A and B are shown apart, each in its own frame.
Chain A
Amino acid sequence: MSVEQARSAQSDHSSIIEAAATHACRTHHNDPANLIEILHDLQEDIGHVPQSALPVIAKAVNRSRAEIHGVVSFYHDFRQAPAGTVTVKICRAEACQSMGALDLIEAVCRRHGITLGETSASGVTVEPVYCLGNCALSPAALVNDKPLGRVDAERLDAAIGSALA
């Protein structure tokens, strides 16, 4: 890739982010009270909430960039960098701990050669979550959007495998 091509790709990338952020704000009437919804929409659209989107949102909803940054960084949901192709969320709250969730998390992380919160080379992100509301079927997990109850390493592997395929 030439320097020029790289520059043009970069500007394509930032114009995509700008367009997505503008669109998310407009969908919610540029209303600062809808900021959480705006950020969710943006993340669903492009996979994360990049720093470069913050000034765009700030301008649209008439808030300071610092305020937008404050909100983005407060909530666990918002990513500043994209996740892998498969996101695995494993509950590590008390109910799931009582059924061995911590061992499960360790086994899954070991298998993918990562620590909790990281993304493997194969594109699997393993993250903690504190309660999925499936506490009578502990341990509980979420593979992308698929809920798994009474899950063990084997079932989790199978679900991750089919999500990767």
Chain B
Amino acid sequence: MTTTVYVPRDTAALSLGADDVADAICREATARGADIKIVRNGSRGMFWLEPLVEVEHDGVRYAYGPVSPADVPSLLETGLLTAGSHRLALGATEDIPYLKRQQRLTFARVGIIDPLDLAAYEAHGGLTGLRRAAAMTPAEIVEQVTESGLRGRGGAGFPTGIKWKTVSELPDAQKYICCNADEGDSGTFADRMLMEGDPFCIIEGMAIAGLAAGATEGYLYIRSEYPLAIETMKAAVAVWEKADLLGDNVAGSGRAFRLHVRRGAGAYICGEESSMLESLEGKRGTVRSKPPIPAISGLFGKPTVVNNVLSLAAVPFILAQGGAAYRDYGMGRSRGTKPFQLAGNIRYGGLIELAFGVTLRELIEDFGGGTASGRPFRAAQLGGPLGAYVNEAMLDLPMDYETLADNSAMVGHGGIVVFDDTVDMAEMARFAFEFCAIESCGKCTPCRVGAVRGKETVEKILNGVDVARNVALVEDLCEVMTDGSLCAMGGLTPMPVMSALRLFPEDFDTAPAVAAE
């Protein structure tokens, strides 16, 4: 009987040698005459356990990790193929607390199936949503999405149903669906995991969006830093085209939808929607003034739905189970689940999909196990390089759009970057300006010039020059950038800067210790 062994081929697993592990298992199994099949799945998102090898035994999957090629002979010796015990044995995968405590709706299949196996996708609930959507009118699809309470998962949190409705009701013959996979925020990797681990889910979400909005063309814009995601998505689109799921007659709907995968070119700003549209048109990725919003005048001036990967990937579940089933998760006006990403100086980093409302402390301490260095926690940055820093006192805040906004922070794309007590928060404020200076598109002055001046001014503070005056100057500059920038790049760079100043003032107090008089 053939035993199935799973070895992830997600970039994170590969970065710890998963290919070498797969080769070793193949070699050792062949040498022992064992009959095995190796499936290269996505990652379960428990990265400290990668490469995480699983074996299917009596219909249950058992996990071993982290496995190095050197562990493979002893694993096979002690009966890996019959789920035997070993010092790396973790028991049944589904029973690992880190996974068991999650509510995986969007990530239901990630790490479980071969990402390009359409039959496995369908066997695990895939295509149900699209088939239901194919039998619905655009208005009915929009209604389900509206009812789900889904809001933009890229960070802005705009209600997805309203966006779709706007585009759906416009009479234009040509409309577009654009999926923003320019996941540039430090501390985020959910889009990448999904593209590498369950690409069909994103295609299904885009196809449903196409049916809802009356769009016949879709573009998936992936950052060039994700070569494996690009390769996987292109292969996935080819699988769907071959199965006639994309093309002139999407899932038997009688309506057309075609999908194009396009690469970014190393510009963070192209994660801003209008800048992404410029890039998709082959231009410099400079932001556009709004209005008009992309829903009215987007790609090539046509009505365009621009959604983040995670927003679109939530849609197949919503259509399959109904909007109400999704809305049942969450708190307040933040409905459904959010894939949080624990990163940086964290012991058990990874992906945690949970309903909104989970506290930061639960994520960082219960799931994350504290810092990787073992030193005390000092700060966490939420929602990427444009997100606020939080301190220990804020860890009991529930993760929800409104609560965080009320506390001058944001959920963003769900990234949580942890720092221990060795971090210099004035240096992090300086870096926030530096990053803005490097990545600003240059179109508006508050961002283009403000970032450079901000960096210089924080450097003066770091050198103890006129600290009080320069702190006031930074605060003033931040106000100008917040109010005067065209987009979130310049508009939100003050978030990390001001939160660092507000919560960690001691790090900015570098005035000479010896007073003059």
Check A137 for interface membership: any CB of B closer than 8 A: yes
Q: A98-B417, A99-B345, A135-B415 are in contact. Are A130 and B186 (CB under 8 A)?
A: yes
Alpha-carbon gap, A46 to B189, bound state (A): 31
Alpha-carbon gap, A130 to B285, bound state (A): 17
* CB proximity of A123 to chain B, nearest CB, Å: 21
* CB proximity of A132 to chain B, nearest CB, Å: 6
Interface string of B169-197 (1 = CB under 8 A from A): 00000000000000111111101100000
Alpha-carbon gap, A133 to B48, bound state (A): 15
Alpha-carbon gap, A134 to B14, bound state (A): 11
Q: Which A residues touch B284, using CB under 8 A?
A: 70-71, 74
Which of the segments B68-76, B91-99, B130-138, B220-228 contacts the partner chain?
B220-228
Q: Which A residues touch B266, using CB under 8 A?
A: 75-77, 129
Partner of A95, one of B187, B226, B265: B187
Closest A residue, CB atoms, query B441: A74
Partner of A98, one of B267, B300, B419: B419
Check A84 for interface membership: any CB of B closer than 8 A: no
* CB proximity of A119 to chain B, nearest CB, Å: 18
Closest B residue, CB atoms, query A41: B263
Closest A residue, CB atoms, query B196: A133
Which of the segments A1-9, A13-21, A143-151 contacts the partner chain?
A143-151
Q: Which B residues touch A32, using CB under 8 A?
A: 281-282
Closest A residue, CB atoms, query B350: A136
Check A36 for interface membership: any CB of B closer than 8 A: yes
Q: Which B residues touch A74, using CB under 8 A?
A: 267, 284-286, 441
Total CB contacts across the A-B interface at under 8 A: 151
Check A131 for interface membership: any CB of B closer than 8 A: yes
Q: Which A residues touch B428, using CB under 8 A?
A: 94, 97
Alpha-carbon gap, A70 to B441, bound state (A): 12
Check A39 for interface membership: any CB of B closer than 8 A: yes
Check B16 for interface membership: any CB of A closer than 8 A: yes
Number of A interface residues in the complex (CB < 8 A):
43
Which of the segments B120-128, B199-207, B250-258, B336-344 contacts the partner chain?
B336-344
Q: Which of A77, A78, A137 has the most CB of B within 10 A?
A: A137
Q: Which A residues touch B268, using CB under 8 A?
A: 130
Check B111 for interface membership: any CB of A closer than 8 A: no
Check A23 for interface membership: any CB of B closer than 8 A: no
Check A124 for interface membership: any CB of B closer than 8 A: no
B343 touches A75 (CB 8 A): no
B349 touches A131 (CB 8 A): no
B225 touches A133 (CB 8 A): yes
A140 touches B15 (CB 8 A): yes
Closest A residue, CB atoms, query B343: A135
Check B38 for interface membership: any CB of A closer than 8 A: no
Closest B residue, CB atoms, query A129: B225
Closest A residue, CB atoms, query B418: A98
Q: Which B residues touch A31, using CB under 8 A?
A: 282
Q: Which A residues touch B184, using CB under 8 A?
A: 130-131
Q: A40-B224, A74-B267, A149-B16 are in contact. Are A94 and B285 (CB under 8 A)?
A: no
Partner of A71, one of B283, B341, B385: B283
Q: Give the interface size class of chain B.
A: 35 or more
Check A12 for interface membership: any CB of B closer than 8 A: no
Q: Which B residues touch A39, using CB under 8 A?
A: 265
Alpha-carbon gap, A23 to B204, bound state (A): 34
Check B279 for interface membership: any CB of A closer than 8 A: yes
Check B11 for interface membership: any CB of A closer than 8 A: yes
Q: Which of A61, A96, A133 has the most CB of B within 10 A?
A: A133
* CB proximity of A29 to chain B, nearest CB, Å: 12
Q: Which B residues touch A106, using CB under 8 A?
A: none
Alpha-carbon gap, A97 to B389, bound state (A): 15
Interface string of A111-130 (1 = CB under 8 A from B): 00000000000000000011
Q: Which of A36, A78, A95, A150 has the most CB of B within 10 A?
A: A95
A94 touches B345 (CB 8 A): no
B15 touches A133 (CB 8 A): no
Closest A residue, CB atoms, query B342: A136
B15 touches A130 (CB 8 A): no
Check B162 for interface membership: any CB of A closer than 8 A: no
A149 touches B283 (CB 8 A): no
Alpha-carbon gap, A33 to B282, bound state (A): 4
* CB proximity of B488 to chain A, nearest CB, Å: 16
Q: A95-B344, A99-B344 are in contact. Are A76 and B185 (CB under 8 A)?
A: no
- Top 6 closest pairs, chain A to chain B, by CB: A136-B349, A149-B15, A93-B186, A35-B282, A135-B343, A75-B265
User: What are 28 sample pairs from A and B whose C-beta atoms fall under 8 A apart?
Assistant: A71-B284, A74-B267, A74-B286, A74-B441, A75-B266, A76-B267, A93-B186, A93-B435, A94-B344, A94-B417, A94-B428, A94-B431, A95-B186, A95-B343, A98-B420, A131-B184, A131-B186, A136-B12, A136-B341, A136-B342, A137-B15, A138-B345, A147-B11, A149-B12, A149-B47, A150-B15, A150-B16, A151-B15
Beyond the given A137-B47, A145-B227, please list 18 additional residue pairs across the A-B interface where CB-CB is below 8 A. A35-B282, A35-B283, A74-B285, A74-B441, A75-B264, A76-B266, A77-B265, A93-B435, A95-B415, A96-B186, A98-B419, A130-B186, A132-B11, A133-B191, A135-B341, A136-B342, A147-B14, A151-B15
